[in-house]
Amino acid sequence: MRQPALIALIDGPLAADTPGLAARRDMCALHPRAAGSPADRHASRMAAAIRANAPEAQLLGFSIFPGRLSTALATVAEALRHAAASEAAIVHCSFGHGEASPVLAEAVAAVLAAGKLLVASAPARGAPVYPAGCAGVLSVQGDARCAPGQWSRLDLPGARYGACPGSPGTPVRGASLAAAHFTGLLARACMEDGIEAMLQTPSFTGRERIGPGGPQAA
């Protein structure tokens, strides 16, 4: 088995006792009550979903949400540039901006030029979001066919891959959680047979559709 993968998680502030947390860098001034905030809870759930598929993975947290789940594009770009310069093999973004931005595109390009994988969440409906919409990014949306250890090859305009969106009634579900599950699968593949081998064996291929018996392949 290879060394545990290091993942740059760009999200809210991870608590010091988060399992697998190697280090945290705050890209913004945090709210005095950031602990227990929506940003804190979102980040911790993304970290847990990643490590559900790769328990040995290590996390490098980049805090871009001070408390609320909103931030400036400049803060996102700075976090991406820091992630590009880090030793992380995978950079994870469970968020999206509604408009393409040259600043964001340049930061994404820096991550990819550094030889890293960049995973980002993409909504199942509506216009593209960024960084998922940037060239070279592994864009992921929720696919109800997928269990936590499964993924799908969709090749849709908004998302190339699908993964488990979480169970009904869970605090966070949808594209954000699906992307985190997919990142965990990539991290596990890094430590086992390699990512190229993983990407040859999707659990499902093609668009999800809802039939009389539930979600089906198109």
DSSP-based three-state secondary structure for 218: coil
pLDDT for 167: 67
Q: What are phi and psi of 50, to 5 degrees?
A: -60, -50
Structure tokens at 17: 């006792």
pLDDT for 124: 87
Q: Residue 70: is it exposed, middle or buried by C-beta count within 10 angstroms (0-12/13-18/19+)?
A: exposed
pLDDT for 39: 87
Ordered domains of the chain (ranges, CATH): 6-217 (3.40.50.200)
List, for the chain, all residue ranges whose pLDDT scores fall below the cut of 70.
1, 34, 167-171, 208-218
pLDDT for 209: 66
pLDDT for 99: 87
pLDDT for 168: 61
Tell me which DSSP letter residue 148 carries.
T
Q: What is the 3-state secondary structure (H, E, C) of 180-206?
A: HHHHHHHHHHHHCCCHHHHCCCCCEEC
Q: Residue 36: is it exposed, middle or buried by C-beta count within 10 angstroms (0-12/13-18/19+)?
A: exposed
In whole angstroms, what is the distance from residue 106 CA to residue 50 CA? 26
pLDDT for 148: 86
pLDDT for 30: 83
pLDDT for 31: 81
- Model pTM greater than 0.85? yes
Cα dihedral 33, 39, 45, 48 sign:
negative
- Stated as kind and residue range, the H or E segment containing 77 is helix 73-85
